[in-house]
A and B are shown apart, each in its own frame.
Chain A
Amino acid sequence: GAGVSQSPRYKVAKRGQDVALRCDPISGHVSLFWYQQALGQGPEFLTYFQNEAQLDKSGLPSDRFFAERPEGSVSTLKIQRTQQEDSAVYLCASSLGGQGYSNQPQHFGDGTRLSIL
């Protein structure tokens, strides 16, 4: 059984470039989350999808960050005009239930380590 798959594992970009990070959740999982993890810190919430609907994007740090999940499966997190402070590990997680199922565990992918030079 495949887990949450993220690509690329590592991404190096120059400041000002746009990047796109991909997440392929566990098949059948309704909920998909994106988190940002800085070195030595716990993950911080960015955005949440229930199927194709983006129900919460309150954690996105600026309007340079954009996420989509057009068919309710694969999701892409896009960062435009990258800045050095965007350097972090970006984690994707999925869970079986939708909103209101806070007891459903979230399963994480291995993340994308983004470095902005």
Chain B
Amino acid sequence: QKEVEQNSGPLSVPEGAIASLNCTYSDRVSQSFFWYRQYSGKSPELIMSIYSNGDKEDGRFTAQLNKASQYVSLLIRDSQPSDSATYLCAVSEETSGSRLTFGEGTQLTVNP
């Protein structure tokens, strides 16, 4: 079983809709959770970080964390074609030197 799993893609939504991206992790000592956006041929770009249970909102993005269920999600409201990218879920823990463990990514396409 992979340590970090993301819902299989690709995911396609119409412009203006809500895109929902999900991620589960297997290691209960994971402490920090990140969502990165990666455009084709580009480097991962941090868009959200979350450390405690609950919701965290930043503009059109909302990250949700449930440590009991070992689940983290990202909601993108009012999706735009420019949101089309691969979204990577990453977790880290202090005991591993803060290295990130990534999921395989979910490819999102927002159709105009």
Contacts and interface: CB of A to CB of B under 8 A. Distances in A.
Interface residues of B, number: 27
A99 interface: yes
Given A103-B49, A108-B43, A43 B31 contact: no
A99 B92 CA distance: 11
B93 interface: yes
Given A99-B97, A102-B92, A91 B102 contact: no
Interface in B68-112: 88, 90, 92-94, 96-105
Residues of A contacting B: mostly: loop
Interface of A: 4, 31, 33, 35, 40-45, 48, 50, 55-56, 59, 91, 93, 95, 97, 99-111
B32 interface: yes
Nearest to B100: A106
Interface of B: 4, 31-32, 34, 36, 42-46, 49, 51, 88, 90, 92-94, 96-105
A43 B98 contact: no
